[in-house]
Structure 1
Amino acid sequence: MIPFKLTDELIAQINLLIAENSTGELLDMLSELHYADIAEIVHELDDEEAIYIIKLLDSETTSDILAELDEDVRETILRKLSAKEIADELLELDTDDAADIIGELPKERVSEIISQIEDREHARDIVDLLRYDEGTAGSLMAKELVKVNENWNVLTCVKEMRAQAENVRRVHSIYVVDDEDKLKGRLSLKDLLTTSTRTAIKDVYIPKVDYVSVNDDAEEVEKIMSKYDLEAIPVIDELGRLVGRITIDDIVDFIKDEAEKDYQLAAGITHDVEADDSIWELTKARLPWLLIGMLGGLGAASIIGGFQDVLTKYQALILFIPLIQATAGNVGVQSSAIVVQGLANDTIKGEIWSRLLKEGLLGLVNGVAIALIVLLISHFAFGTTYFESATICVALVSVVIIAALIGTFIPIFLDKRGIDPAVATGPFITTSNDVFGILIYFLIAKLILGF
């Protein structure tokens, strides 16, 4: 299969076909493409052209396209579709995708659309999913699954599975429940095929099955599925009843969203934004951290201002201020990035003190290595005196150790307080270490040079 490639020529051709209302030729072209490729095309069209494509294709295709679109593009399209048109699209989607799409709309609009869905069971399932808080297992799960009763025999089980499988795109597992719908275990397809048709399911099912509760945090679900290499995991309610399943594609989408959020937090962006958002939205997201950076810069300037007389006497110290700040910031970001990653992957174990000791020793080794290089360069290239060189080197070692400790401690501290540790990276760590770096630099200079 040749990979799809979006080109300016393709977009221009589609624009022309839409302008000429050449529906037949346009359908022929789009019918050869995967729905994800069509979604990529829709992102490049204006609103009217996007609506034209959505209304041209059948609901089975356009429902998948809508699920692939970015929220902003999808919201624009949905605003221009009638409640009945949206209901027809939701009918073709799995309940989790349908709930994700309809959950973005105003409540009055949601009620109107739900009332237009012809399959009332499908509508009830979507409404049920909408009640779960974002970031929980309930918000990620789909209602579509295959389950059998422990009291059935194999023959009855196969008949029921055939009927249920019609509404499930992919059967990952067969779950076993009791008469009250409580999850009992899972059924091996091999055991099902090699067992007598009269055998009771309770005699062949596997009682050991990993599961999560509807209120479990989505990050915990991700860790369980990743640890045990699960393609799907059942979800139970507060009474232990089987109410849905979470598949690997849902977890991948969740991981992607969380990674984007953490990346923006680490870069100093306070909430989720896109490159195409308005200047006002982008400003609101970026300005708070920039103001914190400004305050940090003013703090560093204030410290430097307090040592103006010293800088007049030892002017060589001025040359190495950027080096001290940059080194402190870089070491802090490195340490915090490793810790944040470890917290996300649940690989950081043991006491915080052992972690701080390890980072402190690592900072000592790195600091000494950098200081020795700077010692040679400062003395021979910049002509600093022995005492000035000693000041710079001791300050570098101290700054690297302190920055490593700060970069390690803050994310772990925030995580233990239930705060996303990603907020500690980027501008926050860089700014705090800049200020501490300058302060340490001049305190050590005062100690060594004796001013």
Structure 2
Amino acid sequence: MEFKISKDLIQELEQLIQNKDDKQLEVLLNDLHHADIAEILDELDFDEATYIFKVLDSEMTAEILLELEDDLRENILKRLSAKEIAEELDELDTDDAADIIAELSQSKKEEVISELEDLEHAKDIVDLLRYDEDTAGGLMGKELVKVNENWTVLTCVKEMRAQAENVSRVHSIYVIDDEGRLKGRLSLKDLLTTSTKTQISDIYIKKVTSVNVDAEDVEVARIMQKYDLEAIPVVDEMGRLVGRITIDDIIDVIKDEADKDYQLAAGITQDVEANDSVLELTKARLPWLLMGMVIEIVASFVLKNNELAFQKYSTLIIFVPLLSATAGNIGVQASAIVVQGLANGTIKEFSRNYFSKEITVSMISGTIISLFLLLYHSVMYQQYQVGLAISISIIVVILFAATLGTLVPLFLHKNKIDPAIATGPFITTTNDVFGIILYFTIARLVLGY
């Protein structure tokens, strides 16, 4: 059953903190999952959260630290000494510990690293800090089980027992050569059913999917999703095994990427959350709104220059909102499918077949919509020539919007710009202006005003 925070629980915790009843606090919280405790701490103020954090033992608080909201974790870390932070990091896997240290100031980093008791653990953390956070090197952990291809099964089992003490979950057994280069992986079934004198080189599986330390995190996520992997080994430029990435890290990448794409599609220029300050939220939203305003001003000039057409053919103006909305919807639909394809790997670059398919779909949709408008306008206003101009315009504008929606994400992707930008205000506002220009250009050609 899912844990739910109650008002009574919060009040009880606040009372225990006020009374400094540490023993009862431990009794109340020790049986809860670390993610649930993190949720509770997010409901308390900083002082109360820090108090509870210091009451619980580091084996539990280390996991809690990873689950906290960024601002709360930052405040708690500020209130902990370098030694206290080091005690937390000693309980964490290297990748998680490196993520925590990366949030500290340079001087605090050095202090914390010097306080780490396990020197090998400290060395691995420092090594991970060299990599950019959005690369495979920045995601990977050093905890893994590896065996040498020249060992016998008996030696392998002994070595694995020693290595497994520092690994919380053994997803795979990796095989390396004397230089540490990744050669393959070892099946646990083969290990258990083979003679203890057999060499690993005779039984290991040579086919293994790996990624380079410099691979982008989203590319790692795509590969793991494609091959349904729970973990993937990471190699350096020389093919040496340097770490592994597990599925829990990739879930975080997928979630962060989805959040970012959703915000870009909504016209939000940076990563924000509901509990961010008014200034941060404004800074994230305002740029696209200002850009949209400028583009719409251009559209207003187009409308002003066609005042004569409105006086002579009044129904032209009635269909401008419909034209803008339809063009915007078509453009967003087309770009959303391309962005999705780029994200999951089904689309990698411009494809003539896909482009022709998108244009065909838009042509069919545009024709149906235009025929409906022609019939509607003819019945309602009996201005058949104007109705024809509107119908032709809607087809052309829909084709333009589909073309823009398909090609812009591909162009952005090719130039290393997040194509999710194309699914939001950029497509909508651009289609507004060019749609209106095309609308009145075709109307002028058909009606001759």
1:384 Cα offset (Å):
5.1
Alignment of 1:163-312 (within 5 A): 163-312=162-311
- Aligned residue number for residue 430 of structure 1: 428
Q: How many residues get paired?
A: 449
Structure 1 residue aligned with 2:437 = 439
Q: Distance in 2 between matches of 1:12 and 1:444?
A: 69
The amino acid of 2:110's aligned partner reads S
Indicate the residue corresponding to 1:366 in structure 2: 365
Q: Aligned equivalents of 2:342 and 2:382: distance in 1? A: 43
CA distance in 2, matches of 1:396, 1:30: 63
Corresponding residue number in structure 2 for 1:46 = 45
1:409 aligns with 2:399: no
Aligned to 1:107: 106
Q: C-alpha separation between the residues in 1 aligned to 2:306 and 2:9?
A: 64
Instruction: State the 1:378 CA deviation.
Output: 3.4
* Partner SS state of residue 147, structure 2: strand
Higher deviation after alignment, 167-176 or 32-41: 32-41
Across the aligned residues of Structure 1 and Structure 2, the Cα RMSD in angstroms comes to 1.5
User: Post-superposition shift, 1:20?
Assistant: 3.0
Inter-CA distance 373–13: structure 2 relative to 1 (3 Å threshold): farther
SS in 1 for 2:43: coil
Which residue identity is paired with 2:163?
Answer: Q
AA at the equivalent of 1:412: L
Q: What is the rounded CA distance, in whole Å, between the counterparts of 2:374 and 2:16 in structure 1?
A: 69
Q: CA deviation at 1:248?
A: 0.9
Distance in 2 (CA, whole Å) between partners of 1:60 and 1:183 is 33
Match of 1:144 in 2: 143
Counterpart code for 2:395: V
C-alpha contact (below 8 Å) 1:297/1:431 kept by paired residues = yes
SS at match of 1:176: strand
> In the alignment, what sits opposite 2:384?
386
SS in 2 for 1:318: helix
Cα distance in 2 for residues equivalent to 1:437 and 1:346: 31
Q: What amino acid maps onto 2:393 in structure 1?
A: A
Which residue does the alignment assign to 2:154?
155
C-alpha change, 1:367 and 1:13, in structure 2 (3 Å) is: farther
2:418 match = 420
Determine the structure 1 residue equivalent to 2:56.
Answer: 57
Match of 2:335 in 1: 336
- Using a 3 Å threshold, how does the CA distance of structure 1 residues 338 and 216 change in structure 2: closer, same or farther? same
Aligned residue type for 2:73: R
Name which of structure 1's ranges 89-98 and 438-447 shifts more when overlaid on structure 2. 438-447
Aligned partners of 2:138, 2:409: CA distance in 1, in Å?
27
> 1:228-275, CA deviations, whole angstroms, 9 ceiling, x for partnerless residues?
111111111122211110111111111111111111111111111121
Aligned counterparts of 1:370 and 1:123: Cα–Cα separation in 2: 65
Q: Distance in 2 between matches of 1:48 and 1:450?
A: 75
Unmatched segments (≥5 aa) in structure 2: none
8 Å CA contact 1:395–1:444 kept in 2: the answer is yes
Amino acid aligned to 1:300: A
2:122 match? 123
C-alpha distance in structure 2 between counterparts of 1:154 and 1:161, whole Å: 10
1:123-181 CA distance string (max 9 Å, x none): 11001000001211101100000111122211121111111111101000011112221
- Aligned equivalent of 1:83: 82
Q: What's the counterpart of residue 319 of structure 1?
A: 318
Residues in 1 aligned to 2:306 and 2:362: alpha-carbon distance in whole angstroms: 27
* Aligned equivalent of 1:29: 28
Partner residue in 2 for 1:6: 5
Aligned mates of 1:282, 1:383 — CA distance in 2: 47
Quick check: 370-379 or 68-77, which moved more?
Answer: 370-379
Q: What do the CA deviations read for 1:315-368 (whole angstroms, capped 9, x no partner)?
A: 211111111111111111111011000001110157433332221111111112
2:194 alignment partner AA: T
Q: How far, CA to CA, are the matches of 2:24 and 2:352 in structure 1?
A: 68
Instruction: Report the equivalent of 2:345.
Output: 346
The residue identity in structure 1 corresponding to 2:283 is: K
How much identity, in percent, do the aligned residues show? 61
Bigger shift: 206-215 or 299-308? 206-215
Deviations 1:74-108 (A, max 9, x none): 11211111111111101100000111111111111
